[in-house]
Amino acid sequence: MADLHELTALALWQELQSGRVSPRELASHYLERIERLNPQLGAFVTVTPERALERADEVAATVPRTATLWGLPSGDKDLWMRAGVPTGFGSRAMTGFVPDASDEIVETLDAAGAVSLGKTNAPEFGLPAYTESLAAPPARNPWNQELGSGGSSGGAAVAVASGMLPFAPGSDGGGSVRIPAAACGLVGLKPSRGLVPAGSGIASLGGLVVDGPLARTTADAALLLDGMIARVGGRIDHHYTLRAPYDDDGPFLGTAVRGEGRFQLGVMTTSAWDDAYEIVIAPEARAALDAAVEAFTAMGHGMEETALTPDETYAPAFRILWQAGAARIPVEGDALELVEPLTSWLIARGREIGARELGDALAALTAYERSFIRQLASFDAVLTPALAMTPRPVGWYDQEDGEHNFEQQVQYTPFTSMLNVTGLPAIVLPIAQTADGLPMGVQLIGRPGGERTLLSLAAQLERRVRWDLRRPPVW
């Protein structure tokens, strides 16, 4: 039998169900890998081995085996609170904070039978698209440790790509699942707004932030998504979302395993930022897109080039929303001296924004959502580059000039935030590698509630490309 970390999360679940492996044995295996690999990669900021082994025994003794994630190791993003475990939010201002209660997404994962091994690295308050805070070592890319992992779910991506976890949950407010998935050669799924009740986006400013899975395979991503949804009586619980219930055809895992259907796809290289910044798509990103187009065409899917209508309202409105979100960070007085320059700039700008200015920005983004969905309505899904550049070096971002930093993030990740604004599902897939062996991905954008189409397309592409067989040098 292969080493446990060589197996997919789905295969590990089958081993657990058969009794050939126990939750404690599986947790111990991954804890050993974390002890060996984490010092050089920075995937975890806190590891909780004793709690993890106790939890593994608890799962084995008390949690029904029918639980979706029964006995599978996972990690909590360090933006999420777990009672009794230090939660740093990637910030020196939160050093020593130990919450008394857990966030709902943490409780949901526990109820699904997952075993948390600790807290995965995140940038300060999840604001940047890279994971290089002053509170912890940077999350380094397992494919080349001189490069960053993206963010803000950078630690989660590093843990999965290096085999420290079989999969990991993340959160995505502007690309924070998809960016690190693309940088680290993983599948990363941003669900539709409202699909995951514990991280639906409904409660976040502008409805931007949703929770989603990072995994090595499409099926593993679907399995974790099913665990994050926490169905009630076999159905998705939309009791406290603001959207109509989804047509629920059962677990998403079945869709991902079958990978069926032929679809009409758009191909797009325009983004919401084209009018505000110079967006240049690197040859490596273009090559990945071309490889995906060629593969989908060969599989019989319809392909048609499309482009977004320019909209000069998006960039200033999104900037206001990003800054206004930072204004709500609970750091005051002397504690402000402990936050990083970018965060300080964002907080200061955000707290200058008036109610009318914020209201106008929200109205502009709502109009953009309607326009975007209408423009792409003729396609089952739309294909874009995942990122405009290859993974960025650690230290590449300007840490002092907030305006320049924002521009750098946009130029690296122009295709992600518009899906948070529109609430649409999107999945990143690791289609290609550069001459230096770096992963390059593409993004598929779905219709509202279109996760099943995305998972079907992803499964078909995975069977053709077999990215699940690729391993970074640290493996």
Q: Which residues are catalytic?
A: 77, 152, 176
As a whole number of angstroms, the distance between CA 219 and CA 323 comes to: 36
Nearest to 430 by CA among 266, 189, 122: 189
Tokens of 38: 């984490």
As a whole number of angstroms, the distance between CA 372 and CA 253 comes to: 29
Nearest to 158 by CA among 190, 188, 121: 121
The residue to which tokens 């048609």 are assigned: 304
Can you state the percent helix, strand and coil of the chain, rounding each to 5?
Answer: 45, 15, 45
Residue 268 near residue 238 (C-beta atoms within 8 A): no
Mapped onto helix, strand or coil, the DSSP state of residue 150 is coil
CA distances from 118 to 292, 294, 369 (A): 36, 41, 37
As a whole number of angstroms, the distance between CA 226 and CA 186 comes to: 18
As a whole number of angstroms, the distance between CA 39 and CA 45 comes to: 10
Q: What is the DSSP annotation of 102-126?
A: --HHHHHHHHTT-EEEEEE---GGG
User: Which residue type sits at 235?
Assistant: R
* Alpha-helix residue ranges (DSSP H) falling in 333-387: 341-350, 355-375
As a whole number of angstroms, the distance between CA 183 and CA 172 comes to: 15
Cα 109-123-312 angle, rounded to 5 deg = 105
As a whole number of angstroms, the distance between CA 432 and CA 422 comes to: 28
* Alpha-helix residue ranges (DSSP H) falling in 205-282: 218-229, 252-258
Residue 200 near residue 228 (C-beta atoms within 8 A): no
The rounded Cα 448 to chain-centroid distance in angstroms is 18
